[in-house]
Amino acid sequence: MRRAISWTELVGLRVGVWGARVEGAANLRRLSVLGVPPVAVVDDGVEGVVEGQRVLGAAGGGLDALASCDVVVKSPGISRHSQQVAALEEEGVAVTGGLALWLADHAGEEVVCVTGSKGKSTTTAVAGHLAAGLGRRPFVGGNIGRPPWDPAAPEPPGGADLWIVETSSFQAADVARSPRVVVVTSLSPDHLDWHGDLATYYADKLSLCSQPGAELTVANGDDPVLRARAGGLGPAQRWVSLAEGGSAWVEGLGLLGEHNRRNALLAAAALDAIGVEGAAEAERLAAAARGFVGLPSRLDPIGVLGGVTFVDDSLSTNVLPTLAALDVFAGRRVALLVGGHDRGIDYRPLADGLLAREEPTLVLGLPDNGERILAAVRAESAESVTGSAVARGGKEPGATAVAAPRGVRRGGPLELRSAPELARAVEEGWAWARPDGVVLLSPAAASFGRYGDYRERSAAFAAAVEGLRRRGV
């Protein structure tokens, strides 16, 4: 077991920073406030100077410089399971992350960390909104915004009296001290390229629940994968299920989908667990829910053109949120845009969901792994139909209509197409979805490689829709 090290303990030590992007820059700002000059700043993808510090490449002497440190603070994108991390630790260097350091500084305080394979961003945002409506001064951040240890992160007037922190599996793997309350929204395969295999991914994510300091895990009781791993959810659990009822207050949030109703219930349960007054009272929650603004890029309708609704769900980077997004539009024909950075996810559950869908569906596979997603759908199908698709104007060249597997009831046709880039997929999806369908960007894959982040992918989607509008097509 790793020893919990805090930011304040770094004073007087030789400290390296590995990674110089968003979180790496925050780490440098924290060190500057502490008066700790980094021995080295290392990042293969960043050149020049960041926060006044020269950046070295890992292969250009950077790793050797890190080996001379007492502690290395790494960014989440650097896998804890990499050979380079193992080599540093064999040399006696403590390798940790910014969140791990911050949690060690905030032992016993009112901190809620929210994790999960899907739903953690929405749950974090809802928890922050409700807490403020119930009279608290929450800091809301982590993956959803700035890290809580970043000196540049805005705090509520008067200072925070509650911290709600979205936590990735990458960050959880570094944590050596848990917060008092952890929320786990869901569990499904993701980030296998970083964690190495599914068992390690699950273990890393759930490790956040059971380090010293853990008191309670608030968990999605409707998730069978989580239920099966109850033993790894820390000393005590509080299960939240839609079947419990008492969720009429959620309507005030204006969220789409049953999965988001559950996310809201998880948020309220976490606030109640940490001691927020009124978090268990429906009337007070209803008042606190008013005025909530949903997250950009999460089931965000961005416009209607020729009767077709365009929905940005770029934050959906794995299978479960994409399936949930499709459920929201049950009863409507959907052109689904999928694909992005390949993280080794098993796409068979997405294929099964598509094959079972009763409404007409067009799946447009985008680079870089769209072809792999389409191949998973074909592989799950009992047979491929090479005749004409039941779609407007017939089947496009190179498209495939796929029949559902035997025993799976599906009333509508499913068509698969490859798309070379996002703007082309938007145009093809719009032409197919007329007169009253949905073009849904819910990629089930990360944005990295083609885009800087999910926001940049969202902007490209919006630009493509605006391009259609301007052309008057």
Structure confidence by residue, pLDDT tens digits, 160-208: 999 999 999 999 999 999 999 999 999 988 888 889 999 999 999 999 9
What is the pLDDT, as a whole number, of residue 452? 84
pLDDT at 473 over 50: yes
Reported as a pLDDT band with limits 50, 70 and 90, residue 1 is: low
Contact 185, 120 (CB under 8 A): yes
Q: Where are the domains of the chain?
A: 7-96, 106-289, 300-471
What is the pLDDT, as a whole number, of residue 407? 43
Tokens for 457, please give them: 């992918």
Predicted confidence (pLDDT) per residue in 365-412, tens digit: 999 999 999 999 999 985 434 333 333 334 555 577 665 444 444 547
What is the pLDDT, as a whole number, of residue 31? 98
Q: How far apart are CA 334 and CA 331, in angstroms?
A: 9
Reported as a pLDDT band with limits 50, 70 and 90, residue 47 is: confident
What is the pLDDT, as a whole number, of residue 246? 81
User: CB-based contacts of 353: which residues, under 8 Å, 6+ apart?
Assistant: 323, 326
Predicted confidence (pLDDT) per residue in 304-334, tens digit: 999 999 999 999 999 989 999 999 999 999 9
The residue count for the chain: 473
Predicted confidence (pLDDT) per residue in 440-467, tens digit: 999 999 998 899 889 999 999 999 999 9
Domains 7-96 and 300-471 share a fold: no
- Quick one: CATH architecture of 106-289? 3-Layer(aba) Sandwich (3.40)
Contact 213, 178 (CB under 8 A): yes
The CATH H-level (homologous superfamily) assignment of domain 300-471 is Mur ligase, C-terminal domain (3.90.190.20)
pLDDT at 80 over 90: yes
Contact 72, 18 (CB under 8 A): yes
* pTM of the complete model: 0.84
What is the pLDDT, as a whole number, of residue 295? 87
- Quick one: CATH architecture of 7-96? 3-Layer(aba) Sandwich (3.40)
CB atoms within 10 A of CB 6: 16
